[in-house]
Chain A
Amino acid sequence: MSVHAKTAEKMTGDSMMKTQGSKLEFNLKKIREEFPALHQKVHGKPLVYLDNAASTQKPRAVIEKLHHYYTWDNANIHRGVHTLSQRATDEYEAAREKVRAFIHAQKTSEVIFTRGTTESINLVAQTYGRQNIKAGDEIIISHMEHHSNIVPWQMLVEQIGAQLKVVPVTDAGELDLEAYQNMLSEKTKLVAMVHVSNSLGTINPMKKIIDVAHQAGVPVLVDGAQSVNHLEINVQELDADFFVFSGHKLFAPTGIGVLYGKESLLENMPPYQGGGDMIRQVSFEKTTYNDLPYKFEAGTPHIAGAIGLGAAIDYVQELGMSQLASYEKEVLDYATKALSALPGLKVIGQAKEKTSVLSFVLQDIHPHDIGTILDNEGVAVRAGHHCTMPLMQRFGVPATVRASFAFYNSFEEVDALLEAIKKVQEVFKG
């Protein structure tokens, strides 16, 4: 479909509309009403929020859940016989069950609440990694990892004298699977790989990556920070050994995230932090640890955050993940076509399978300058290295501009982005 045809039938926001091909029934206006933050002006212009890969806005359902929790149920969990503590505990544990169902884990006890993707990865590195990886062993990551799936492994290999192996990325922004297969050896003790690249939008063939690793007897940690909000996740079908993500990219609060691990692995791992809740019995001679998942949840957790995550999961599940993904794909295709037509604009990351991330560079204008001018037009994008400095080096750019779309973004907002980019060209012409 041409960009023109698409513009003509683009979502007006007002009408319930069916888009061609995908049989999508989608009331964008109603959805947008659920996100209060979208309805504000920035520098006198309507906010166009296209920085969803960094963090998403929160629906009313989540905001109200937090409000309700702090108004009525606030108490510590697993500690009180009193009513509020009981309510807080029930809600917190209900959220854990929601996460389990959402990612299709087998057991609720395989879901551990953390502060986010970063903490989940550090946890695995310092417990599973320290216990199972020895001097001379190898860990495989890829060239498109977020710093949070690089640095914890670098720290670990330095501590134990192991080695990091890096799977290269092709010009299109896809993993070099052949190189990956050749990299696996008896020395490989873990593969830690991003499911969807935050800088390029590339969806990696995770099932295949895991199958190949398993054939070599190697477990796999999946960084799901950018996949859990765009793809339907089934950790059992994937056969992922660890799957980690952050709530704040899934319309939930910051400060809450998840580590999923197979029970058989989690059972044998030593605790990460010591403290309250993670113990069964403490004496000065000997402490015995609590069962899963509590063994890994030392101290008072982010109770409200977990409950908010549960509410966010309810919200997206009601809308239907696959429908949301189809709509986002249409927005991405529209944006990719429109932006690619601009002279001097180059899209970085042209994988066949992508989520709604559009990274680009424009002539020799620095992304930071572009980001400032777009912001002045009300358009929020990320300009920088997106915590993937090695990947930027791979593509020979210091930084990119990244527009990342969520299901609440409209075709008009893509047009606003386009107009704002033309402003940039105007400012920098000559």
Chain B
Amino acid sequence: MSELRELYQEVILDHNKHPRNFHEMPGADRQAEGFNPLCGDQLTVYLKLGADQKIEDLSFVGSGCAISKASASLMTDALKGKSFSEAKAIFEKFHSMVTASPGLEAPDGLGKLAVLAGVCEFPARVKCASLAWHTLNSALDGSSEAVTTE
């Protein structure tokens, strides 16, 4: 039960129930779609660009499990106002956290995102946790191809 509690922390359940920035974005500068064909999770990430390649606004819509939804929600909170390169650096850190060998300390500088560290105990769920991030990455790169986690 303890790894389960690690995975389904209050913060995650809360973001699942009340996802932040959960709306379409009329006039978005970029948007990208992500799929997890294995489970049918699907989401769209929208972003508005500010000056100096900054993420001025970030939102998402879609359907998925608690992990993918909470991860998307936390991501939008964490990356608003960040520059492209800052966002990419956080993505790198996040990715190494959820794919780390269990038992390692979560890397610094992830703030609230560290609540998703428990995912590394559940390899089958890494794709859920990273779907929103891969999708955002493709929006940042300006790619119009839908992202899939396969």
Contact = CB atoms under 8 A, between A and B. Distances in A.
B40 A398 contact: yes
Nearest to B124: A372
B147 interface: no
B25 interface: no
A373 B66 CA distance: 12
B65 A369 contact: yes
A392 B40 contact: yes
B128 A368 contact: yes
Nearest to A368: B65
A367 B1 CA distance: 18
B81 interface: no
A428 B39 contact: no
A366 B4 contact: no
B51 interface: no
Main secondary structure of the interface of A (DSSP, over half): helix
Which residue among B5, B41, B42 has the maximum number of chain A CB atoms within 10 Å of its CB? B41
B4 A427 contact: yes
Contacts of A428: 8, 13, 66
B38 interface: yes
A40 interface: no
Given A366-B66, A372-B122, A372-B124, A399 B40 contact: yes
Nearest to B69: A366
Interface in A358-379: 365-369, 372-373, 376
B7 A372 contact: yes
B126 to A, nearest CB: 12
A384 B13 contact: no
Interface string A252-292: 00000000000000000000000000000000000000000
B3 to A, nearest CB: 7
Interface in B64-85: 64-67, 69
Interface in B26-55: 38-42
Interface string B118-134: 00001011001000000
Contacts of A399: 39-40
Given A366-B66, A427-B4, A384 B124 contact: no
Nearest to B4: A376
Given A366-B66, A427-B4, A427-B8, A372 B40 contact: no
A101 interface: no
A383 interface: yes
Given A384-B40, A392-B40, A430-B13, A369 B3 contact: no
Which residue among A367, A372, A384 has the maximum number of chain B CB atoms within 10 Å of its CB? A372
Contacts of B38: 384
Contacts of B1: 376, 423
A45 to B, nearest CB: 11
Interface in A373-415: 373, 376, 383-385, 389, 392, 398-399
10 contacts: A366-B65, A366-B66, A368-B64, A373-B8, A384-B38, A392-B40, A399-B39, A399-B40, A423-B1, A430-B13
Interface of B: 1, 3-5, 7-8, 13, 38-42, 63-67, 69, 122, 124-125, 128
Interface of A: 365-369, 372-373, 376, 383-385, 389, 392, 398-399, 423, 427-428, 430
Q: Considering the complex of A and B, which 10 residue pairs feature the smallest CB-CB distances, nearest first?
A: A368-B65, A366-B65, A385-B40, A369-B66, A398-B40, A384-B39, A369-B65, A427-B8, A398-B63, A368-B39
